[in-house]
Every structure is written in structure tokens, then in C-alpha cells.
């Protein structure tokens, strides 16, 4: 009984002899089998989003610029963490090695004053006429409606590599009208 040498299914692809020889030579330098070489080449193109007909020089530079911005953002975050977040850890480690936690004394001592009997301030009572109160209430209601109108047109925009932000969906005429109303109040 003969052993099966391969468990793979194979298919033929017709290529010119010159190209086949060139591919075999390239495959010997890069991988152990032709299938591994071809798989690695296809993975490269799919992973980076290139086609074999694109010029790599300009596309690679654009890809690096995109990635550079992301990497710089990550570096900035890491530097911020190193500056602001490692100080408590450092203090804890130093206290462990020293064995005794040093108590910090306040820089200045505040004097405690006991409340002496002071004459209480008289409360000033103010009265507002009913008409002024009603007008103020109406203006407040108008402002609430205006803010409600603006808040209904605010949309949250998610950002993958930064802070989320709000987008205001108003036309220029609506914006100018609201601005005038606020200035008149």
C-alpha cells in the first residue's frame, strides 16, 4: 500500500516559462515552498491595501504619514502618563525601601479663630413688582425654548484617535437669528 504524500488539493495555473523560472528562484530565496511564497505575497497586498499595479513609493510614504500621526498621538499619551501618573508609584516605592513613611508637615499653619460674638448683618429685603417678575419669567421661557431648539440640533461625533466632539446642525441664517435674539435680551 502506498502512502499518500500530500493531503492538499492542487490546481494548475498556466504561466509563461520565463515567469515560472523567475518565481521559482524568488521562492527559493524567501520560503520553503512555492505555496508559502505566493500566500505571503497575496497577504502583503491584501494587508496593505495595494494592487500589483500601484507604484509603491508614493503610496508607502502616504501610509507612513498616516501611521506617523497615530504613533505620535500614542507617544504623547505615554509621555503624559509618565509625567503625571508615576509620581505616586515612585513615592510608594521609596517609602517601601526606606521602611518608614515620612510625614509631611503643612507649609503654613492656619490659626483657628473662635467665633466671637459679632453683630449679625441685617438682611436686605428687596421687592419686585409683579409686572417685572412676569416679564422676566417670559424672557426665561423664551431663552429655554431657544436653547432647546439649539440642543435638538447638536450631534455627538465619535473620533477614533482623539476626543469626541459635538457638531451643531444649524444653517447660517438660523445661527445669526439666535445670536441676535441673545444680544437683544
**Over the stretch 49-97, which tens digit does the pLDDT of each residue have?**
777 777 666 666 777 777 777 788 888 887 877 777 656 666 666 666 6
Pairing, β 165-168 against β 154-157: antiparallel
Question: How far is it, in rounded angstroms, from Cα 62 to Cα 58?
Answer: 6
CA angle centred on 13, ends 59 and 53, rounded to 5°: 15
The pair phi, psi for residue 64, each rounded to 5°, is -65, -35
The pair phi, psi for residue 54, each rounded to 5°, is -80, 150
Q: Which residue has the higher pLDDT, 9 or 2?
A: 9
The answer to whether the predicted template modeling score (pTM) of the entire model surpasses 0.75 is no
Q: Which residue has the higher pLDDT, 151 or 60?
A: 151
* Mean pLDDT of the 156-172 span: 84
Centre a 10 Å sphere on the Cβ of residue 138 and count the other Cβ atoms it contains: 10
Phi-psi region of 99 (alpha: psi -120 to 50; beta: other; left: phi over 0): left
Amino acid at each position: 500500500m502506498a502512502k499518500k504524500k500530500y493531503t492538499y488539493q492542487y490546481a494548475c495555473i498556466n504561466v509563461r516559462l520565463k515567469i515560472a523560472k523567475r518565481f521559482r528562484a524568488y521562492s527559493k530565496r524567501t520560503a520553503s515552498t512555492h505555496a508559502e511564497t505566493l500566500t505571503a505575497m497575496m497577504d502583503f497586498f491584501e494587508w496593505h491595501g495595494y494592487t500589483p499595479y500601484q507604484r509603491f513609493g508614493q503610496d508607502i510614504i502616504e501610509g507612513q504619514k498616516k501611521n506617523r500621526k497615530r504613533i505620535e498621538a500614542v507617544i504623547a499619551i505615554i509621555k503624559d502618563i509618565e509625567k503625571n501618573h508615576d509620581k505616586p508609584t515612585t513615592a510608594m516605592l521609596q517609602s517601601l525601601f526606606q521602611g518608614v513613611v515620612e510625614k509631611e508637615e503643612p507649609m503654613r499653619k492656619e490659626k483657628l479663630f473662635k467665633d466671637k460674638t459679632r453683630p449679625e448683618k441685617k438682611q436686605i429685603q428687596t421687592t419686585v413688582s409683579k409686572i417685572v417678575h412676569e416679564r422676566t419669567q417670559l424672557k426665561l421661557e423664551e431663552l429655554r425654548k431657544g436653547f432647546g431648539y439649539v440642543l435638538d440640533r447638536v450631534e455627538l461625533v465619535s473620533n477614533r484617535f482623539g476626543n469626541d466632539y459635538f457638531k451643531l446642525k444649524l444653517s447660517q441664517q438660523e445661527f445669526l437669528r439666535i445670536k441676535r435674539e441673545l444680544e437683544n435680551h
